[in-house]
Structure formats: C-alpha cells, structure tokens
Amino acid sequence: MTAESGTKSPTERMRATLRRRYAAERRFQAYGIVAIVVALSMLVTLFVTIIGNGAGAFVQHTARLDISVYPQDIDPGREADLDALARANYQSLVNDALYSMFPEATSRQDRRAVRDLISPGAKFVIRDMVMDDPSLIGQRVSVRVPLSSQYDQVLKGNVDPAVDFRVMRESSTEIPWSLPEGERLISDTQAGYLQQLIRQGEVEGSFNRWFFTNGDSRQPELAGIWGAAVGSMFTLMVTLLLSFPIGVSAAIYLEEFAPKNRLTDIIEVNINNLAAVPSIVFGLLGLAVFLQFFGLPRSAPLVGGLVLTLMTLPTIIIASRAALKSVPPSIREAALGVGASKLQCIVHHVLPLAMPGMLTGTIIGMAQALGETAPLLMIGMVAFVVDVPGSPLDPSTVLPVQIYLWADSPERAFTERTSAAIMCLLGFLILMNAVAVLLRKRFERRW
C-alpha cells in the first residue's frame, strides 16, 4: 500500500486532495439547498393541507322545500306583529313540508330520519324570510335550506371515499359503500331518504353563504365566521386607534426630542425587551389590570384591543424610529434654517417623509395583532358567542380564537370549517402584508 501511494506523483496526490475538497464543497452546498427545500416544503405542505381540508366548506348542499306558510301556525291573530312572528313555531312548517315529500314515512322512527335530513337551522332561514316579508303568510313558497352536516359530509365524499354526490345520484338501488354501516355517519335507511331526495332533483351543492353571514353555532352547517370577523374588526379598530398615535408620538419624542440620559436609555432597553416578552404574559397583564383592577367587561373587544395595543406598541415604535432615522438631517436643517420651530420642522417636513415607513410598521403590527390568540384567551374572548357583536363592549370572539374553538370540535364538518376560517384569516394577513410591501416599494426613498 505504501509502495503504491509512493509511486503517485505530487501532482496526482494534489489532484486527489482537490477532488476530495471539491466534493466536500459540493456536499456543503447541497446541505444548504436541502435545508431550504425542507423549509419550503413544510410551507407548501401546510398550505396544501389547509386548502385541501378547507375548500369543501365553501360549498354547502341544500335542499329545496315547498313550504306552506300557514297563518294559523305562525300568526294566529293575523296582526303581523314582529315579536309574535319571531317567536312562532317554524319547525312545524319545515316538518310538514318534509312529511309531504315522504308520505311513506309514517312510523316515528322513519319520520325522525326524514326530519334529520334538514338542518335544525332551517326554521331560522324561514323565520328571517317571513319577517322580512310578512306578506308571504298564507302563501306557498319554495326555499333552499341547508342539509344536516352529516349528510352534507357524505355528499362531499368526506365520510366514505367511495360515495359522493355524483355516486349517490347515479347509483341505481345499491349504494356502493366501502365502509360498513356502523362506521358511517348515516344508516342505510337515512341514506335511502337522502337518495330519494337527490333523485327528485331537490338537492344541490351551492355557495355556502351561511359561512360568511352567521356567528358561531353548535350546528356545523350553520356556523359562520361573521361574528368572529366583526369581533376581530372591533378589536383591531381599538388597537389601531390607540397604538398608532401613541407609538408615533413616542417614536418622535425618543428620536427627536429626548435628551441622551439614563431615563431614555432605560426606555429604549425596555422597548426592546417588551418586544420579546411572550404574548401570553400580556394576557396575564390584561386579566390582572384591565379586568380585575379596572373592572372592564370580560370578553369585550375593547379589552382585547387594549391588550393588543400594549403588545404591538414596541413593533410600531421601533419601525417608526427607523423611519425617522432614515430622513436625512439636511431636511431638518433646512427647515430650522428658515425659522421653523423644532415641532414645526418635524410635523411639517420630517413626518410626511417618514410616514410611509411608519405606516408599513403599523400594518405589520396590525397583522401580528390580527393573528394573535393566546392573550385573548386570558381575557375571556373564548366564549361561545352566537350573536354578531354590535359594539366594542359586547362579548365577542376573534378569528384566531374561533379557529381554536372549532379545532377542538371532533366533527369532520368542523375540521372543514376550521380550515376554511384559516384560509380567510391567512387571506386577510396576506392582504395586509401585501399593502405593507406595496407601500414600502412605492414610497421608499434613497437619499
């Protein structure tokens, strides 16, 4: 062996070393590429999973019912009084319509199976329609109402991979289930009724408007994000109204006025540290100070906004200071030179030039606040809220908390809605960040 290597010329030996070193070089570069690919594939997996799970929630299968709005059932006094209309028994109208479609279902059990086809929320759809237009009383109207979530899931192919809407419609008598009856959400009898309804051409999948107009609900087919979205809007409004003026003023003071002394140093260090405090600690602060000490209402967007203000302030202050720093001193000197006071110089000349940077920082801070969940759990914004909040003092929830609540529900239909709500949340976030990037691109100046 030694004799062999001894015969190699120095050039050959050097070539061998070089080959090894170049191989190491290529390996090292490959590690980097692999790392990036891993990170990006995680991102892609995440998005594919969420979209794959959630796309279905934008479609809801509905059935057309011919409802006779009997005056004796809902408005016996014929006074068309809204209060009386709101309290009337619309469920019986829905039941009657269903029984007339399935005259062969006479036993208690069969009738129950028939009633189960339609969402318990159908009565609200009809109530709203009648209350909007009381002249419908006494007429026969045709309404589209949502199917119950388990039937909706079957038709979407989420329960049994072998069966979906198309298969149900086209299979003649025997539905080609791949799962035994016990593992499906619906029994053979129920499936029979569903198929009958489909054959009559009454069922179709259409855009799920309830998802965008309803508040939370125990029934997946009625649960929507509108309540949470409004809650998020109120919370963000409070956050923006407080954090933007406070953050910008603090940044101006620290950057332009503050003398260099211990106090300003402490404030600076403080702001940097606050930016890294875990968000849940802000929630504890909100619970102890805003709820216990000041006695503000639980679950209110006002308190949520206050907590998120404290949380986003460091982001806004740091971004605003950077924006102020990037305005060249010559602007200030020119303004001071023609006799402006310090404040005039800043308000009239520096601030307009720094504004795009400040707005970018604010939007990024708002995007953070929109996605924040943990501190809001602490101040009780996890309540089950059906009504859409009307003011920042009403109990409400926000989009990320709604996602958290739905993620806990075991039903397949809620998984679908959770993913859909995530898609909406991500959509908002992407929109906000895109605006921030655009602002930066459009107004960024190099001096």
Partner 1 sequence: MNTLLVIATILVLALIGFVLGRRRIIRQAEGVYSRLHSLPTYHGHFVALWCAVPALVLLAVWVPLEPKLAMSAALSHFQDDIGIAANLESIKTSTLALLLQVPKDATTIELDALRSDQLDLLRTEIRNMADGTASTGHAAFMEEVASVYAGFRDISTILMVAACVAVAGLGAGVAYSRVRPEMRARNRVETAVRWFMILCSTVAILTTLGIVLSLLFESMRFFARVPITEFLFGLHWSPQMAIRADQVGSTGGFGAVPLFAGTMLISAIAMCVAVPVGLLSAIYMAEYADSRVRAVIKPCLEVLAGIPTVVYGFFAALTVAPLFRQWGESIGLDVSSESALAAGMVMGIMIIPFVSSLSDDVITAVPQAMREGSYGLGATRSETIRRVVLPAALPGIVGGVLLAVSRAIGETMIVVMAAGLAANLTVNPLQAVTTVTVQIVTLLVGDQEFDSPKTLAAFALGLVLFVMTLLLNIIALHVVRKYREQYE
**Binders of partner 1 in range 269-288 (CB under 8 A):** 270-274, 276-282, 284-285, 287-288
Tell the smallest beta-carbon distance from residue 286 to partner 1 (Å). Answer: 9
Tell the smallest beta-carbon distance from residue 142 to partner 1 (Å). Answer: 39
Vertex 243: Cα angle to 238 and 244 (nearest 5): 110
In the region spanning residues 7 to 26, those forming contacts with partner 1, defined by CB under 8 A, are 21-22, 24-25
Under rule CB under 8 A, residue 386 binds partner 1: no
Pick 128 or 386: Cβ nearer partner 1: 386
The interface region with partner 1, picked from 56-64, 193-201, 210-218, 242-250 by CB under 8 A, is: 242-250
Pick 246 or 322: Cβ nearer partner 1: 246
- Nearest in space to 392 (alpha carbons), one of 264, 242, 266: 242
**Helical pair 301-325 and 262-274, crossing angle rounded to 10 deg:** 120
Structure tokens at 56: 């279905």
Under rule CB under 8 A, residue 234 binds partner 1: no
In the region spanning residues 394 to 433, those forming contacts with partner 1, defined by CB under 8 A, are 400-401, 403-404, 407, 415, 418-419, 422, 425-426, 429, 433
Under rule CB under 8 A, residue 367 binds partner 1: yes
DSSP characters over 226-293: HHHHHHHHHHHHHHHHHHHHHHHHHHHIIIII--SSHHHHHHHHHHHHHTTS-HHHHHHHIIIIIIII
In the region spanning residues 243 to 262, those forming contacts with partner 1, defined by CB under 8 A, are 245-247, 249-250, 252-254, 257-258
Structure tokens at 130: 């009648």
Tell the smallest beta-carbon distance from residue 90 to partner 1 (Å). Answer: 26
Under rule CB under 8 A, residue 267 binds partner 1: yes
Structure tokens at 366: 């708002």
DSSP characters over 324-392: HHTS-HHHHHHHHHTT--HHHHIIIIIHHHHHHHHHHHHHHHHHHHHH--HHHHHTTTTS---SPP-ST
Which of 78, 341, 386, 445 is close enough to bind partner 1 by CB under 8 A?
341
Structure tokens at 216: 């939370």
Which of 6, 33, 182, 329 is close enough to bind partner 1 by CB under 8 A?
33
CB 56 within 8 A of CB 156: yes
Under rule CB under 8 A, residue 355 binds partner 1: no
